[in-house]
Amino acid sequence: MIYILHGEDTIASYERLLDFEQKFSKSSKINFAKDDNLEKLYLAIWGENLFETQSVIFCKDLLAKIDRHKLQDIPESKTIIFWEQTELSAKILNSFKNVADIERFKPKPHLYWFLDSLGLNPIKVLSELQSSNLLSDPSLIWNITNRTLLLILAKLQISGENSAKIMGRKIEIWQWQKIVDQAKLFDLKKLISFYNGSIKLDFIIKKGESNLDQKTLIPILLLKYLTV
């Protein structure tokens, strides 16, 4: 069996991946990442299983490089799970839809609303942030940094197409237009300071260099850089 987990909500997709690891805890496991040799992967899939034991092959960010025809009628003793940290294109998904179970993980609406609201009334933003429980999300600071970088690219008048290449993911035309409009609420100097502050805060949180927790530090960051 083949499973494909993809989407922008990498926290949810990773939790699903952990579910699979628990489900197949008694099976032998093999891990592959995007820089690994594909021939070794195909050998792991099609190589003889002398003891007829169940094995699970976990693949991270590899699907775009895979030859779909080599995944036809895989042995019943093999399970392949592809975990993709982006949302895959329709073209890629269509080529695999007949050979795999595909699960898409969409970002929660609260996160979208919050990121789109950056640059507006900071008090209102913080109020909604508190009520949405986003402050408990371990990926929140990453999402803030990611959105701020997009705003900087838009402010520098870099095209949506080139920005997508820089970010390593697809950006729809309508999504980029929203970023361009949002960037107009900032001046470039403040955006760069906001970006640098987000990176520094991420480092402080991960290294445990503050007595304050994320729920306190992120509102301080927002008040510092969103207040005019």
Taking the whole predicted model, whether its pTM rises above 0.85 is answered as: no
Give the tens place of pLDDT for each residue, 146-202. 999 999 999 999 999 999 999 888 888 888 999 999 999 999 999 999 999 999 999
Residue 72 per-residue DSSP state? T
- Percent of the chain at pLDDT exceeding 70: 97
- Domain containing residue 81: CATH number: 3.40.50.300
Average pLDDT, integer, range 24-37: 87
Length in residues, the chain: 228
Q: Does 118 or 53 have the greater pLDDT score?
A: 118
The single-letter code of the amino acid at 169 is R
pLDDT band at 52 (very low <50, low <70, confident <90, very high): low
Mean pLDDT of 24-40: 87
Looking at the structure, do residues 56 and 155 belong to the same domain, yes or no?
A: no
Q: CA 128 to CA 121: how far, in whole Å?
A: 11
Residue type, 222: L
**Contacts of residue 154, Cβ cutoff 8 Å, sequence gap at least 6:** 163, 176, 179, 180, 182, 183
| Range list of H helices, 66-121 | 90-96, 109-117
Q: What is the pLDDT of residue 99?
A: 86
Task: Say yes or no: 114 and 91 in one domain.
Answer: no
Shared domain for 93 and 151, answered yes or no, is no
Residue-range definition of the domain harbouring residue 183:
109-226
3-class state of residue 131 by DSSP: helix
45 has a pLDDT exceeding 90: no
Q: Is 136 exposed, middle or buried (0-12, 13-18, 19+ CB in 10 A)?
A: exposed
| pLDDT of 157 | 96
Instruction: Identify the helix (H) or strand (E) that includes residue 5.
Output: strand 2-6
Strands ordered across the beta sheet of 55-60:
28-33, 55-60, 78-83, 2-6, 101-104
If asked whether residues 170 and 192 sit together in one domain, one would say yes
CATH code at position 163: 1.20.272.10
pLDDT surpassing 80 at residue 51: no
Give the tokens for residue 22.
């628990």
CA angle, residues 178, 182, 185, in degrees to nearest 5 = 160
Looking at residue 171, its pLDDT comes to: 87
State pLDDT tens for residues 53-65: 788 999 999 888 8
State yes or no: pLDDT of 228 exceeds 60: no
